[in-house]
Chain A
């Protein structure tokens, strides 16, 4: 009897904790949403036909260390609300439009901070005001959008918002227990590694831990609470080469929770390896260029797939631009370049790729890119991007494109110069091959191809420069000089670690200062062989607009038969006048 009672109590307890209605935040959003749909209207203007609220409730811990010292450490509670309010109709609404329309000045629109307490009254007040501002901005944007369309003939008539089934989901809450003191010490220890490398001028180590929940509610009946769990340790090191080129490398360690990170000693080893390689690079002269086969290993192969395939399949719906000025600054990250390749060949026929945000683990490794519900409240689905070399799908939000009308639950919110948007973005992308080779076979093929080419060396790239967060001066520069728009950026970033292998002796040496030349999306079709074991690449995609998107790419090593690399253009700097104060005694 006693036992039965206990079980009942536990069930009740769980039931209570997992009841969304018991959340004051959810309650406040729900009540304001109902009122908005029923009553919000300016006379003679459209009423909202769709409203969604997405709120995050997090504890964010950020720690920074450098050269053995603790630079900063703070934990802050953070609540934020985003409103997606649509006027017009699903066929034509205020979305998919980049505009300078700012909305009301005295009332916030689109997003706002929320009170940190579970105070229904105060929460309602914030939600009410931002909804009001968002509604007014939506009306302004729709009227501007109609004006632009009227003045441009022959604009396609794609609908703006696709239908989808309501989704209800409740993930268990994660309680936030930051162990800041311990992490501070670990971070200081990591940063101290650089005290062993006189060849490195500057370094920093940052750690960010996000713990909490995301709430979603919309006027179509979707309601969900999903867990937010992210931890990122990122290490940046800078130096200059003997001939004055600025050099840097950036490595990161990512997981959903601290216990999912690699063991601390593994992290130390990886950072030390990075420091060692960068030190070695700093002592090398620039390589004079290379043409021939290139083998992409590990991170480099995954970055290649991310940059050329995942970004190309992202955000395929190109929004209408209000004017040329808006157009010039749009899409600085070159997303969606493969949007028009549906049904066409983008990879060799032995390769396929899919994105499945539902994947949480790959063997022993926990994956960071996944999510159960996307930022439009839609259940994330697996999508086949490429089958047997042909493009079969794109990363979709609820913004339809020509050949795909439905979402596949890949919407991720990104702030942009002209307001934020939910864009179809990768979660966990997996590249698979029907045929594959052992590392030795791949190496042999690399050497053989290089010989055919008449080369004395073959090239192996083991790291491609990943995106990293911008420093404060870089952020300011961005303010003065907006990033170049789509088309101006290379498809592939420069290699940060690569080796040349002597075709006769098989001896590998580190080389420096190479950059890809003339690479287009076609590079993917030139893949001639892949390895058996894929590399699991967890990372944060730090885009040009300052968004940080946890992402996973799982991809095998790839051999590309022919690539051109040139000497990387750099702006040489003078050597420091004084020796580094720590290393001066040695």
Chain B
């Protein structure tokens, strides 16, 4: 027998087992039975029949252990299952989810609507809750649909007249998350040991080393006959440390590792080395001078660049923002137009599992609307090509590309998964640094800035506010043109407007790196990744950070003698 056949056979067996895996799953069975029963009846209720029903169950096992200064500070091991019920009444053209313009603040959007369901495969227990929640959601949907219809009568037509929903294919998929593999006792002593590294530093206010392991199976069934079990097991190791500068400025730094298997997390030596460097950086930071507002050339180092793109660009290419009458719609009408230098391309591809030998935590196979994740082409050689799309279609983009995401209890909107920035104008990082100095000289600036670490930021995409962003750098150095050594500085936030900032990228490094993070927005917290090289921007604007007014602790840290 040839090898090729063996391989094909193996694949067939694998597929068969995948299907079977789902078939006798008690949770899946209960979801399907109750969904079908509900759909049959509710789709006949006039005047606003149900036309789409989705159940999503988040089956989660989370183990979390944290230590500080040699002692355990948190230790939990919990299982939960949470249910989301999504109900659409009316028609795909116009349904209950349609944006209501005016009418005041609807706080029900902000109240999590998940329900905890049994973890022990009790079909009766699950079905009772499915029934009650479906009924509640159905009635609320009918009520809201009435409001939507009423509004139609009194308001002008929206600019984007796309439908509210688009149909999707029936999908069958089952890939369960592997069990969490870890020895809690061993991790406890390991984290305790690692966390003692912060003890010799009395100026540190708080520090922690923590491990979080989550095994999440998302069950998604809908009235389009999709039956999906999409599982992910994730391990995070985090270091956090903070202090207060003498002038009251809060300073914090950290590091985080992500892996799909515990053996892929770093060893003690690498962690300790990272802790030492984080402490050294924080020490330098608290003694660093506060930067005055500045506008000039800067380098955004790879991981920081990933966060930068996520904040200032990624959130503006989320499909639902192109549709909402409340959004600024920076890029809505820019399709086929240049929006950044022609050497840059951007995609968001949640199907990527790894990059450069490291796991990507933004990866998923199916989104929370039961649509297979797809690579979304956003920018090709500087030209705007598309958006991140959910099943809420927007003008010229009628189909989802599998980016409808949420955390449980929230309503799905389009979100990023694995955002990837690719450049064709790459140079080694040393050359990028040389180019920064050259650019400073050209602009007659005494120094440029290098951003090493960014914590995230705020981006105001709403129409009422300015279309600006603020990004919070954590670790910044000043590079002088006269050859003085680099100097750590503090107290700046990056501010700007997205279109202008993107046009200022002049060159990139070849040092692509991953940022694995968790992003919070309307639809809750979702794991995301960014892949980016370091970039040189000819002009960036920084302003003074709002500073805390707290005095550092009055008494010295206790027990320093030890």
A and B from one complex: yes
Are the CB atoms of B75 and A35 closer together than 8 Å? no
The residue among B107, B119, B242, B553 with the most chain A CB atoms within 10 A of its own CB is B553
Closest to B207 in A: A125
Contact indicator per residue, chain A 567-586, by CB within 8 Å of chain B (1) or not (0): 00000011011101110000
Query: B37 near A121 (CB under 8 angstroms)?
Result: no
A162-194 contacts to B, CB under 8 A, are 188, 191
Q: A72-B80, A480-B107 are in contact. List 12 more A-B contacts (CB 8 A).
A: A31-B558, A39-B555, A42-B551, A72-B116, A72-B119, A106-B242, A107-B244, A123-B71, A472-B112, A476-B110, A577-B135, A578-B131
Q: Which residue of B lies closest to A124 (CB)?
A: B558
A201 touches B (CB below 8 Å): yes
B68 at the interface (CB under 8 A from A): yes
Chain B binder among A63-71, A217-225, A444-452: A63-71
**B108 — nearest CB in chain A belongs to which residue?**
A473
**Distance in angstroms between the alpha carbons of A582 and B132 in the assembled complex:** 12
**A120, closest chain B residue (CB):** B559
Instruction: Give chain B residues whose Cβ lies under 8 Å from the Cβ of A119.
Output: 69-71
Residues on B with C-beta less than 8 A from A128 are 553, 555, 557-558
- Tell me the bound Cα distance from A580 to B117 in angstroms: 16
User: Which residues of B in the span 330-384 have a Cβ within 8 Å of any Cβ on A?
Assistant: none
Docked complex: B122-159 residues within 8 A CB-CB of A: 122, 124-132, 134-135, 138-139
Say yes or no: is B118 at the interface (Cβ < 8 Å to chain A).
yes
- State whether the Cβ of B98 lies closer than 8 Å to any Cβ in chain A: no
Cβ 8 A contact of B558, one of A32, A65, A107, A480: A32
Residues from chain B with Cβ under 8 Å of A105 in the complex: 250, 548, 550
Against B, the Cβ 8 Å flags (1 = close, 0 = not) of A190-202 are 0100010000011
CB distance from A531 to the nearest CB of B (A): 40
Does B73 make an interface contact (CB < 8 A)? yes
Closest 9 CB pairs of A and B: A69-B125, A69-B118, A69-B122, A122-B71, A119-B71, A115-B71, A117-B71, A104-B550, A124-B558
Q: CA A98 – CA B554 in complex, angstroms?
A: 26
- CB of A77 within 8 A of CB of B120, answer no
Mark interface residues in A117-159 (1 if CB within 8 Å of B CB, else 0).
Answer: 1011111110111001001100000000000000000000000
Contact check, B112 vs A581: say whether CB atoms are below 8 A apart: no
Which partner residue on chain A sits nearest B38 by CB separation? A578
Residues A129 and B119 in contact, CB atoms below 8 Å apart: no
Return chain B residues, CB-CB under 8 Å to A472: 111-112
Which residue of A64, A117, A125, A576 contacts B557 across the interface (Cβ within 8 Å)? Answer: A125
Report, as a range, how many residues of chain B touch the other chain: 35 or more
In contact, B558 and A580 (Cβ under 8 angstroms) = no
- B111 contacts A473, CB within 8 Å? yes
List which A45-66 residues lie within 8 A (CB) of chain B: 64-66
Would A117 and B554 count as touching, CB distance under 8 A? no
Q: Do A574 and B139 have beta carbons less than 8 Å apart?
A: yes
Q: Does A76 contact B (CB under 8 A)?
A: yes
Indicate if the CB atoms of A66 and B118 lie closer than 8 Å.
yes
Query: Across the interface, which residues of B come within 8 angstroms of A270, CB to CB?
Result: none
Question: Which single member of A72, A132, A191, A202 contacts B132 (CB below 8 Å)?
Answer: A202
User: Which residues from chain A contact B248 at a C-beta distance below 8 Å?
Assistant: 106
**B206 interface contact, C-beta 8 A:** yes
Chain A residues with CB under 8 Å of B292's CB are none
Please determine whether B117 and A122 come into contact, CB atoms closer than 8 angstroms: no
- Using Cβ atoms and an 8 Å threshold, which residues of chain A touch B122? 67-70, 188
Contact call A577/B42, Cβ cutoff below 8 A:
yes
Residue ID in chain B nearest A575 by CB atoms: B135
Q: Does B444 contact A (CB under 8 A)?
A: no
Asked whether B553 lies within 8 Å of A129 as measured between CB atoms, the reply is yes
- In the complex, 10 of the A-B residue pairs with CB atoms within 8 angstroms, ordered by the A residue number, are A65-B125, A66-B129, A69-B118, A69-B122, A73-B119, A113-B73, A122-B69, A125-B69, A476-B111, A576-B135
Q: A201-B132, A578-B135 are in contact. Are A70 and B557 (CB under 8 A)?
A: no
User: Is B264's beta carbon under 8 Å from chain A?
Assistant: no
- When chains A and B are docked, how far (Å) is the Cα of A188 from the Cα of B550? 51
Q: Judge whether B77 and A69 touch: CB under 8 Å.
A: no
User: Is A402 in contact with chain B by the CB < 8 A criterion?
Assistant: no
Contact with A along B10-35 (1 / 0, CB 8 A): 00000000000000000000000010
Instruction: For the complex formed, measure the closest distance between the CB of B193 and the CB atoms of chain A, giving whole angstroms.
Output: 12
B72 within 8 A of partner (CB): yes
Shortest CB distance B111–A (Å): 4
Residues of B near A1 (CB, < 8 A) are none
Contact B38 A116 (CB under 8 A): no
Contacts A72-B119, A113-B73 hold; do A129 and B125 have CB atoms under 8 A apart?
A: no
Other-chain contact of A69, B76, B126, B244 (Cβ < 8 Å): B126
Q: Which of A69, A123, A577 contacts B120, CB < 8 Å? A: A69
CA distance A41 to B130 in the complex (A): 59
How many Å lie between the Cα of A521 and that of B269 in the bound state?
69
Contact of B73 among A39, A116, A202 (CB under 8 A): A116
B71 with A76: CB separation less than 8 A: no
Contacts of B107 in A (CB 8 A): 476-477, 480
B118 x A580 contact (CB < 8 A): no
B75 contacts A106, C-beta separation under 8 Å: no
Whether, in the assembled complex, B199 has its beta carbon less than 8 Å from a beta carbon of chain A, the answer is yes
CB-based contact A202/B128 at 8 Å = yes
A314 CB → nearest B CB, Å: 31
Given contacts A107-B205, A128-B557, A580-B131, contact A121 B126 (CB under 8 A): no
From B113, B124, B127, B242, name the one whose CB has the most chain A CB atoms within 10 angstroms.
B124
B128 touches A71 (CB 8 A): no
B118 cross-chain contacts in A, Cβ below 8 A? 65-66, 69-71
Cβ of A74 under 8 Å from chain B: yes
Q: In the assembled complex, how far is the CB of residue B304 from the closest CB belonging to chain A, in whole angstroms?
A: 23
Chain B nearest CB from A423 CB (Å) reads: 29
Question: Do B132 and A122 touch across chains, with their CB atoms under 8 A apart?
Answer: no
B40: shortest Cβ distance to chain A, in Å?
A: 9
Known A-B contacts A69-B122, A125-B69, A577-B45; A41 and B554 likewise in contact (beta carbons under 8 Å) = yes
A70–B248 Cα distance when bound, in Å, is: 49
Contacting pair A577 B138 (CB below 8 A): yes
B55 to chain A, nearest CB (A): 13
B41 contacts the other chain (Cβ, under 8 Å)? yes
- Identify B555's interface contact among A106, A132, A136, CB under 8 A: A132
Q: What chain B residues lie within 8 Å of A202 (beta carbons)?
A: 128, 132
Q: Report if A121-B125 is in contact (Cβ < 8 Å); known contacts: A128-B553, A480-B107, A581-B37.
A: no
Give the CA-CA distance A116 to B120 in the complex, in Å: 30
The smallest beta-carbon distance between B311 and chain A, in angstroms, is 23
Best-buried of B45, B77, B131 by chain A (most CB within 10 Å): B131
Q: Contact check, A124 vs B41: say whether CB atoms are below 8 A apart.
A: no
Chain B residue contacts of A71, Cβ below 8 A: 116-119, 125
Q: Which residue of B lies closest to A192 (CB)?
A: B124
- For B129, the closest partner residue in chain A by CB is A66
Question: In the complex, which residue of chain A has the Cβ closest to the Cβ of B409?
Answer: A472
A533 CB to nearest B CB, Å: 40
* Bitwise interface map of B from 243 to 272 toward A, beta carbon under 8 Å scored 1, else 0: 010001010000000000000000000000
With contact pairs A67-B122, A129-B206, A582-B127 given, residues A106 and B111 touching in the complex (Cβ less than 8 Å)? no
- Report the Cα distance A104→B205, complex, angstroms: 13
For B562, the chain A residues whose CB sits under 8 A away are 121
A40 at the interface (CB under 8 A from B): yes
Smallest Cβ distance from B455 to chain A, in angstroms?
A: 15
* Chain A residues with CB below 8 A from B551, complex form: 42, 104, 136
The closest CB in chain B to the CB of A125 belongs to: B69
Any chain A CB within 8 A of the CB of B79? yes
Q: Which residue of B lies closest to A105 (CB)?
A: B548
Complex Cα–Cα for A69 and B110 (A):
28
Say which residue of A115, A122, A136 sits within 8 Å of B550 (CB atoms): A136
Our pick among A70, A116, A135 for the contact of B119 (Cβ within 8 Å) is A70
- For A118, the closest partner residue in chain B by CB is B71
Find the A residue at minimum CB distance from B112: A472
Q: List chain A residues, Cβ under 8 A from B120.
A: 69-70, 188
Q: A72: which of B37, B78, B112, B129 is its contact (CB, 8 Å)?
A: B78
Known contacts A576-B135, A581-B34; is A74 also within 8 Å of B555 by CB? no
- Looking at the complex, which one of B42, B199, B558, B559 makes contact with A578 (CB distance below 8 Å)? B42
